[in-house]
């Protein structure tokens, strides 16, 4: 620290930093991106390992025999579902009771803020059915959950069949130490939300539900089962939950360990593990897998029914049986054994899963990137903001009012928009959002001139200072909670923040700034996501998809309390507007 205490040397250092500011920024930015891309390179990542001793060393034997019968039960369920065209509540209650469970139902209803055209629902009414297997000689303090959504159409009937088959098999075993709750939730996530809110007696989203009659104490872990087709070739693990929360890594390890033991093909993000990490294609495969996770996490949506459990500090994951048209086929007995093994190990838990990581990225199922490895990439990007702070208050309020308008107007004015324009509700909401967003671009610099007349050189510097500090804090906090979202936002907003001054060429800079704005980031993300999934779309399709993504984002916020939409509308967008304002400083 002698360097900083010596005024001469300090002055020299500051001079050096000021002189080399631009190159240092560029280098840091490149290094940050390069670091991030390096995370997917296998030698730089860690192999996953089981941290929880209670699940690691003990051996369990899987004996689930009745996969065929489970498939038959699934067919029976499908028939009853078709007959009542919805959730066959009575049949499920009877079937679960026959299997020796304590059965309860929960009714719920929810009116969406605007009709969801993607899933074709507006006023949702449904019933969850759940059966509790009481563990012998356990005092109802701990429970595990196995859930299967009852989806419209022919999807997922097998999962319900397998759930019932497992219930029957589990009921006859003596070794359970925790109650096991078998839940069939109606209307997928909405039903799950209702059930979880009922179980914990909270109401975060204004849903109507009938109180639960039976409980099993504090839920330790949960798995959600989805078998989308009758033919299953591989099991896919979905981890990304609400607001980018992830379950403890041990849950992923457990799944991977049992897939290896039983010999089931297992995937993450629908991508198989590859061994050729040293080849270019192997590396790009890993990058693709990791980027898919980053995109999904950044979206802040629950990517399976498990996603809503995470808010309640319940470690949960969705296991999806997918048909990827490979030669390899997995039958219901094997899937049953996989679940049996996982549940027996979870049953052995003495404590909640807490030993392993909560913050991680997975370039493949067997490798992970921990928080200690990915944070430097973000740090390198964030460091660019600091010299900016060293070198630079006015329309902060206006920017935020615009943000608040973006947050509130789309829902408020949907009815008015529908009356006056030939659009549907969903379109009205999305188009209002885009209109407010665009209007915000015109607003600030005009009002600013009206209010304070000529701006001074000192003025924009102060504004930039505030804006940069704002952005640094905002991105830092976001990255701590949801790394992926923080990183994607930093990737686009940081360059915008770094170059903008009133003295750069206006038109070109404005164009670049718009390209780097949050809305365009989302647009690119949509295209990029499709590209990663190997389903590229045309521009028009992409645009439609973009609109539906916006509506889904708004819906997620109102239905499940996802925070991405308010974050963008109330914080990120106003922050970006500040930079826009600096550009047009007069």
Q: Tell me which residues touch another protein (CB under 8 A).
A: 1, 4-8, 10, 97, 100, 102, 134, 136-142, 171-174, 200-202, 214-215, 217-218, 311-313, 350-352, 354-355
The residue (of 222 and 526) whose beta carbon lies closer to another protein is 222
State in angstroms the smallest separation of the CB of 276 from another protein: 35
Calpha distance 43→538 (Å, rounded) = 37
The residue (of 347 and 402) whose beta carbon lies closer to another protein is 347
For residue 466, the surrounding DSSP H or E stretch is helix 457-481
The residue (of 7 and 43) whose beta carbon lies closer to another protein is 7
State in angstroms the smallest separation of the CB of 555 from another protein: 22
Closest CA to 180 of 128, 130, 107, 250: 130
Give me the helices (H) in 85-235, please.
89-98, 157-171, 188-200
State in angstroms the smallest separation of the CB of 253 from another protein: 17
- Determine the 3-state secondary structure of 176 from DSSP: coil
Calpha distance 79→194 (Å, rounded) = 26
Closest CA to 467 of 331, 372, 345, 577: 577
State in angstroms the smallest separation of the CB of 14 from another protein: 13
Calpha distance 469→477 (Å, rounded) = 12
* Angle value at C-alpha 323, between 318 and 328, nearest 5 degrees: 110
Closest CA to 363 of 252, 227, 235: 252
State in angstroms the smallest separation of the CB of 1 from another protein: 4
| Helix/strand/coil percent split, the chain, to 5 | 60, 15, 25
The residue (of 4 and 535) whose beta carbon lies closer to another protein is 4
The residue (of 119 and 200) whose beta carbon lies closer to another protein is 200
State in angstroms the smallest separation of the CB of 365 from another protein: 25
The residue (of 312 and 558) whose beta carbon lies closer to another protein is 312
Would you put residue 269 in left (φ > 0), alpha (ψ -120 to 50) or beta?
Answer: left
- Determine the 3-state secondary structure of 584 from DSSP: coil
State in angstroms the smallest separation of the CB of 384 from another protein: 20
State in angstroms the smallest separation of the CB of 87 from another protein: 21
Q: Are 504 and 460 in contact (CB under 8 A)?
A: no
The residue (of 40 and 212) whose beta carbon lies closer to another protein is 212
The residue (of 151 and 253) whose beta carbon lies closer to another protein is 253
The residue (of 389 and 515) whose beta carbon lies closer to another protein is 389
State in angstroms the smallest separation of the CB of 12 from another protein: 13
Instruction: Look up residue 34 and give its two tokens.
Output: 């390069």
Q: Count the helices and strands in the chain (H runs, E runs).
A: 23, 12
Dihedral sign computed on CA atoms, order 230, 233, 239, 243: negative
Beta pairing class for 218-227 and 315-322: parallel
């Amino acid at each position: 620290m002698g360097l900083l205490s010596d005024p001469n040397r300090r002055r020299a250092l500051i001079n050096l930093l000021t002189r080399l500011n631009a190159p240092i920024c560029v280098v840091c930015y490149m290094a940050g991106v390069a670091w991030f891309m390096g995370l997917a390179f296998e030698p730089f990542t860690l192999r996953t390992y089981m941290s929880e001793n209670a699940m690691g060393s003990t051996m369990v034997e899987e004996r689930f025999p009745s996969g065929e019968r489970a498939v038959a039960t699934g067919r029976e369920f499908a028939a009853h579902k078709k007959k009542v065209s919805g959730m066959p509540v009575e049949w499920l209650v009877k079937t679960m009771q026959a299997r020796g469970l304590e059965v309860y139902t929960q009714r719920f209803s929810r009116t969406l803020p605007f009709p969801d055209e993607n899933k074709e629902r507006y006023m949702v009414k449904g019933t969850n059915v759940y059966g509790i297997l009481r563990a012998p000689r356990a005092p109802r303090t701990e429970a595990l959950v196995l859930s299967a959504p009852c989806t419209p159409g022919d999807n997922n009937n097998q999962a319900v069949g397998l759930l019932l088959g497992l219930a029957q098999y589990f009921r006859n075993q003596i070794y359970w130490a925790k109650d096991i709750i078998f839940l069939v939730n109606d209307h997928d996530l909405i039903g799950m939300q209702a059930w979880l809110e009922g179980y914990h007696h909270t109401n975060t989203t204004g849903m109507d539900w009938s109180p639960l009659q039976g409980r099993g104490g504090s839920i330790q872990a949960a798995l959600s089962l989805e078998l989308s087709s009758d033919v299953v070739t591989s099991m896919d693990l979905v981890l990304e939950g609400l607001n980018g929360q992830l379950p403890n890594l041990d849950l992923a390890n457990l799944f991977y360990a049992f897939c290896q033991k039983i010999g089931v093909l297992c995937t993450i993000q629908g991508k198989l593990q590859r061994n050729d990490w040293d080849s270019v294609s192997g590396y790009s495969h890993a990058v693709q897998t990791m980027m898919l996770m980053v995109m999904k996490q950044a979206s802040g949506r629950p990517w399976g029914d498990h996603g809503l459990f995470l808010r309640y500090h319940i470690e949960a994951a969705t296991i999806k049986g997918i048909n990827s048209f490979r030669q390899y086929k997995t039958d219901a007995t094997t899937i049953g054994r996989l679940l049996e093994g996982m549940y027996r190990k979870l049953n052995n838990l003495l404590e909640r899963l807490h030993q392993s990581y909560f913050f991680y990225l997975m370039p493949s199922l067997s490798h992970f990137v921990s928080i200690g490895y990915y944070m430097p990439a973000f740090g390198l990007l964030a460091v660019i903001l600091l010299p900016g702070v060293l070198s630079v208050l006015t329309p902060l309020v206006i920017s935020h009012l615009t943000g608040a308008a973006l947050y509130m107007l789309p829902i408020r004015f949907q009815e008015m928009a529908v009356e006056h324009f030939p659009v549907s509700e969903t379109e009205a909401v999305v188009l209002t959002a885009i209109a407010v967003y665009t209007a915000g671009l015109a607003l600030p610099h005009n009002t600013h001139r009206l209010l304070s007349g000529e701006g001074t050189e000192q003025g924009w510097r102060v504004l930039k200072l505030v804006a940069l500090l704002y952005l640094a804090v905002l991105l830092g906090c976001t990255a701590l909670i949801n790394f992926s979202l923080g990183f994607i936002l930093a990737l686009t907003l940081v360059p915008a923040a770094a170059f903008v001054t009133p003295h750069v060429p206006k038109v070109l800079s404005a164009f670049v700034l718009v390209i780097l704005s949050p809305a365009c980031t989302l647009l690119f993300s949509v295209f990029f996501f499709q590209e990663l999934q190997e389903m590229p779309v045309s521009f028009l399709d992409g645009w439609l998809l973009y609109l539906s993504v916006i509506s889904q984002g708004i819906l997620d916020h109102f239905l499940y309390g996802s925070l991405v939409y308010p974050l963008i509308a109330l914080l990120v967008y106003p922050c970006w507007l500040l930079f826009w304002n600096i550009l047009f400083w007069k």
